[in-house]
């Protein structure tokens, strides 16, 4: 059956073929040998690096942002520990499966989960993690942890939730935080070049102080290195770390804390005074040295809604609100000052010797000038008045005379000394300058000559002149302190996590306008004293427009004002403001300080569409000041209460509703 290899020729031929085969095999093995040298010896280090990159994942350890505290260290913005659920799309086996298992746990529709992941993949690429939900409940964390091991790419992480204990109160000032968007990354990296580095999924301040203080309160994120398997799951082994010392975990550095000049108690009282009356507008309270004590706007948004994902409903409601809950009206919007402008005109008239404090003027109910009637808010007029009476009772006609006598350019020269029409340079973004007109301005912007009639409207704070509440506070504070224009500020100091003070700010007087200023004008102390006395009478005189505003033991000085939202005909002027639709009602102003002779606190309140200065805005000012003096000078209040005998109190209460311009 079998054939032996007996033929020597064939045997020789066989040997040849053995050799051919063997050479072929050796050649192949040599090629493999060389390939192994290439991969393992020549490219070895590089490929080892790739294998390390495969298994070592950098995890960012979020650094908490610094706290924002009030002047006494009470929290205004704090951090709460929480949990968030993160998805790494690259490790997902099936987005659909994930959505179906995770969606019900988180109370999200599966298609919404899919959409969220797809959207992030589109915007940020497949390797960026997606934050599915923040601020998980304990139940959610527990249920997610159970499915985690079977769901590659799913991760539960500790997170830090920014919390705003004051909620809506002051939200435009404090701002809110949110995840950085892809377009913001290059912008912020350019802005904070060499200082901060921003990367995907970072939480940043989006507005207000959160945005403004980014540099100070942002912490440095730490890094931890963990070993993951091919499915992105963390694994622990004894496999040594070839990077050794180089990749030690880095602990995060807590952001610095900022102490504000704000007083939380006063801030809360201010918010209560506004919101309990349903007031819309802006409030600024500051110490006479420029330290801001309270700052808020109504209506407002709740920044806690923005710390996690904002529900569309909430967002739509906020953006469609006609009273603009996102506006920081204290500095971003400017309004007609109305009668609150009169003290400035009085200062100008006194300083320019147009009048003295003895000069009297006849102030009827209306005034004919340049072919038309100018109205007084009080139909019956005030009779013969001095500058004291004119301010106490807010006479329009008196100030029409002042306007005519001074002319716009003189008013401009004096009043600009007080800071009207200029930014206060407070450390907040997007401050509006307001407008203080003069003839030059009108020619430049409107191309028209200044009309004599416009002097009249300007003198009573209507017309072109517009101001921000903060400007008014500064200007009134200048009257209160008899000439000292201060620079308002809100950040007192920045302290690192070890308590070291990195930055501290002190009150600053920008200028003393009792001394001649660059434009050659000044206002003498005795003129301030006259106007201060007049403004004391506003709240304390028998005919004062704000005589209802009383704090036991402390005398308030200030001025009411109403700013027309639109022009009305003569009969409409005297119709009842409350009968109009809310958006055409007057804005009420009250700006004042206390105690009138030794000023400590200055408050400006704009109560939009509240119709009246005193009962609209003044009551808010009174409440704020009362809180201030109860806290810082309880002895004054106690003394005031002791002095007041019960009968006089009753009488005062009966007279109280009397109001107004």
Partner 1 sequence: MAFRSVNISERNFLNRLDIRLILLIFCLNVIGLFNLYSATHGPHSNDVEPLFVQQIVWLLGGWTIFFILTFLDYLWVNKIVWLIYILNVGALIYTDLMGKVVLGGQRWIDLHFFRYQPSETMKLCIILLLSRILVNRNPMGYGMGLRELLLPAVLIFIPFALTVKQPDLGTAMMLMFIGGTMLFFVKIRKSIIIFIATLALIAIPLAWKYGLKEYQRNRIFTFLSPDQDPHGTGYNSIQSKIAVGSGKFFGKGFRMGTQSQLEFLPERHTDFIFSVLSEEWGFVGSIIVLLTFAFLFKVCFEISLQARDKYGALIVIGVTAYIFWHMFVNIGMVIGLLPIVGVPLPLLSYGGSGMLTTMVGLGLVSSIAYRRYLF
Shortest spacing between CB 49 and partner 1, in angstroms: 8
- Residue 498, classed as helix, strand or coil, is coil
CA distance 218 to 586: 43
Q: Are strands 601-608 and 257-260 parallel, antiparallel or unpaired?
A: unpaired
Q: For partner 1, which is the closer residue by CB, 49 or 112?
A: 49
Q: For partner 1, which is the closer residue by CB, 28 or 653?
A: 28
Shortest spacing between CB 20 and partner 1, in angstroms: 9
Shortest spacing between CB 29 and partner 1, in angstroms: 5
Shortest spacing between CB 487 and partner 1, in angstroms: 58
- Residue 53, classed as helix, strand or coil, is helix
Beta bridge partner(s), residue 223? 60, 250
CA distance 316 to 91: 35
Q: Are strands 601-608 and 383-385 parallel, antiparallel or unpaired?
A: unpaired
What is the contact surface with partner 1 in residues (CB under 8 A)?
1-5, 7, 9-10, 13-15, 17-18, 21-22, 25-26, 28-29, 31-33, 35-37, 39-41, 43-48, 50-52, 54-55, 90, 227-231, 235-237, 239-240
Shortest spacing between CB 153 and partner 1, in angstroms: 13
CA distance 504 to 218: 18
Q: Are strands 177-179 and 203-205 parallel, antiparallel or unpaired?
A: antiparallel
Q: For partner 1, which is the closer residue by CB, 18 or 384?
A: 18
Shortest spacing between CB 244 and partner 1, in angstroms: 15
CA separation, residue 236 to residues 239, 240, 248 (Å): 8, 11, 16
Question: How many alpha carbons lie under 13 Å from residue 273 in its C-beta half-sphere?
Answer: 32
Q: For partner 1, which is the closer residue by CB, 29 or 648?
A: 29
CA distance 501 to 484: 29
CA separation, residue 444 to residues 421, 455, 487 (Å): 16, 18, 30
Q: For partner 1, which is the closer residue by CB, 44 or 186?
A: 44
CA distance 479 to 418: 8
CA torsion 337-343-346-352 (nearest 10°) is: -90
How many residues would you count in the chain?
661
Shortest spacing between CB 422 and partner 1, in angstroms: 60
Q: For partner 1, which is the closer residue by CB, 2 or 579?
A: 2
Shortest spacing between CB 21 and partner 1, in angstroms: 7
Q: For partner 1, which is the closer residue by CB, 247 or 636?
A: 247
Q: Are strands 203-205 and 383-385 parallel, antiparallel or unpaired?
A: unpaired
CA distance 324 to 486: 29
Shortest spacing between CB 13 and partner 1, in angstroms: 7
Q: For partner 1, which is the closer residue by CB, 53 or 119?
A: 53
Shortest spacing between CB 128 and partner 1, in angstroms: 15
Q: For partner 1, which is the closer residue by CB, 155 or 454?
A: 155
CA distance 599 to 279: 26
Q: Give residue for tokens 């027309």.
A: 564
CA separation, residue 134 to residues 116, 161, 204, 255, 305 (Å): 14, 8, 15, 21, 12
Q: For partner 1, which is the closer residue by CB, 55 or 580?
A: 55
């Amino acid at each position: 059956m079998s054939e032996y290899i007996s033929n020597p020729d064939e045997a020789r031929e066989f040997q040849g073929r053995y050799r051919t085969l063997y050479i072929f095999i050796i050649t192949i093995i040599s090629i493999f040998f060389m390939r192994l040298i290439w991969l393992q010896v020549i490219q070895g280090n590089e490929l080892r690096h790739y294998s390390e990159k495969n298994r070592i994942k950098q995890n960012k350890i979020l650094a908490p942002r610094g706290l924002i505290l009030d002047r006494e260290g009470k929290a205004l913005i704090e951090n709460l520990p929480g949990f968030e659920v993160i998805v790494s799309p690259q490790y997902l086996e099936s987005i659909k499966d994930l959505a179906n298992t995770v969606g019900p746990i988180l109370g999200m529709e599966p298609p919404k989960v899919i959409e969220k992941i797809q959207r992030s993949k589109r915007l940020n690429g497949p390797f960026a993690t997606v934050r599915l939900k923040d601020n998980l409940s304990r139940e959610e964390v527990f249920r997610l942890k159970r499915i985690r091991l079977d769901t590659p790419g799913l991760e539960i992480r500790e997170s830090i939730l920014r919390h705003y204990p004051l909620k809506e109160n002051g939200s435009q000032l404090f701002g809110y935080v949110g995840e950085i968007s892809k377009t913001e990354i290059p912008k912020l990296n350019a802005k904070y070049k060499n200082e901060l580095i921003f990367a995907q999924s970072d939480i940043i301040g989006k507005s207000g102080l959160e945005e403004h203080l980014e540099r100070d309160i942002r912490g440095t994120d730490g890094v931890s290195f963990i070993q993951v398997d091919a499915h992105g799951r963390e694994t622990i082994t004894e496999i040594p770390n070839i990077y050794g010392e180089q990749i030690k975990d880095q602990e995060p550095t807590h952001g610095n804390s900022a102490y504000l000049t704000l007083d939380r108690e006063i801030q809360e009282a201010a918010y209560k005074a506004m919101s309990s009356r349903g007031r819309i507008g802006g409030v600024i309270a500051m110490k006479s040295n420029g330290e801001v004590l309270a700052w808020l706007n109504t209506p407002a948004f709740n920044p806690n809604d923005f710390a996690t994902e904002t529900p569309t409903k909430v967002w739509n409601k906020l953006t469609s609100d006609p009273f603009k809950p996102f506006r920081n009206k204290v500095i971003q919007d400017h309004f007609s000052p109305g009668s609150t402008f009169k003290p400035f005109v009085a200062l100008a008239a006194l300083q320019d010797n147009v009048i003295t404090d003895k000069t009297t003027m006849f102030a009827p109910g209306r005034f004919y000038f340049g072919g038309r009637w100018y109205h007084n808010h009080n139909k019956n007029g005030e009779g013969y008045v001095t500058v004291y009476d004119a301010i106490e009772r807010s006479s329009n006609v008196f100030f029409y005379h002042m306007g005519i006598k001074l002319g716009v350019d003189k008013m401009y020269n004096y009043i600009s000394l007080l800071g009207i029409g200029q930014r206060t340079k407070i450390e907040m973004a997007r401050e509006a300058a307001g407008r203080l007109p003069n003839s030059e301005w009108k020619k430049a912007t409107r191309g028209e000559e200044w009309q004599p009639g416009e002097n009249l409207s300007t003198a009573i704070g209507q017309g072109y002149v517009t101001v921000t509440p903060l400007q008014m506070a500064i200007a009134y504070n200048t009257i209160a302190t008899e000439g000292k224009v201060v620079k308002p500020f809100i950040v007192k100091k920045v302290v690192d996590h070890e308590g070291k003070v990195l930055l501290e700010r002190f009150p600053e007087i920008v200028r003393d306008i009792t001394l001649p200023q660059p434009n050659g004008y000044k206002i003498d102390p005795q003129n301030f004293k006259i106007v201060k006395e007049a403004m004391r009478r506003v709240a304390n005189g028998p005919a004062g427009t704000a005589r209802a505003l009383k704090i036991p033991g402390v005398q308030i000085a200030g001025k009411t004002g109403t700013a027309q939202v639109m022009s009305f005909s003569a009969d409409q002027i005297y119709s009842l403001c409350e009968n109009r639709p809310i958006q055409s009602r007057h804005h009420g102003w009250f700006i004042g300080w206390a105690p009138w002779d030794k000023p400590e606190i200055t408050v400006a309140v704009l109560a939009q569409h509240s119709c009246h200065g005193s009962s609209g805005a003044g009551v808010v000012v009174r409440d704020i000041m009362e809180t201030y003096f109860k806290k810082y000078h309880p002895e004054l209040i106690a003394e005031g209460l002791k002095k007041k005998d019960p009968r006089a109190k009753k009488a005062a209460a009966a007279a109280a509703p009397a109001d107004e311009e």
